[in-house]
């Protein structure tokens, strides 16, 4: 393997560790209200997907040869993201979520209002049906 190919693979490994950690962080933040079992299944699926993508990237660069220092650079990308960028990415993500909540809050209010009207009518119908005793049973 030539020196240029090794530098390309090292940069790819570093960048992949950085991006993989960022995507994993964002997905976990967006899905924190989901039950833990489903979240664990999603995390395993994401990890498998990233593993396959990493290997295919290495196949593209150096015919799929794995070296220990590639994994060290993936770990360095992870550390670099966590140490320098995680706070800012989550801050912007929270800001975007607040903007989306502001945009969609009138629609949510409208659907909750309609749902309240429907639930009141269903409650009234249940009370009417409960007042009529044994209407479906014939008297013998």
Domain count, the chain: 1
Q: Which domain holds residue 103?
A: 3-130
120 is a domain residue: yes
Residue 31: name the closest of 46, 49, 52 by CA.
46
Identify the residue whose tokens are 């009141």.
120
pTM, two decimal places: 0.66
- Below-70 pLDDT ranges, the chain: 131-140
Question: Tell me, what's the pLDDT at 136?
Answer: 59
Q: Is 121 helix (H, G, I), strand (E, B) or coil?
A: helix
138 is a domain residue: no
């Amino acid at each position: 393997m030539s020196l240029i190919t090794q530098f390309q693979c090292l940069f790819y490994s570093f960048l992949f560790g950085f991006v993989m950690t960022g995507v994993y962080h964002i997905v976990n933040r967006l899905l924190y209200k989901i039950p833990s079992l489903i979240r664990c299944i999603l995390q395993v699926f994401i990890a498998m997907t990233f593993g396959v993508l990493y290997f295919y990237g290495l196949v593209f660069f150096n015919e799929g040869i794995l070296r220990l220092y590639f994994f060290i650079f993936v770990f360095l990308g992870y550390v670099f993201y966590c140490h320098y960028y995680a706070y800012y990415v989550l801050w912007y993500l929270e800001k975007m979520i607040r903007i989306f909540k502001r945009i969609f809050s009138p629609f949510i209010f409208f659907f909750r209002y309609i749902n309240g009207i429907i639930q009141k009518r269903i409650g009234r119908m249940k009370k009417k049906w409960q007042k009529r005793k044994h209407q479906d049973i014939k008297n013998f």
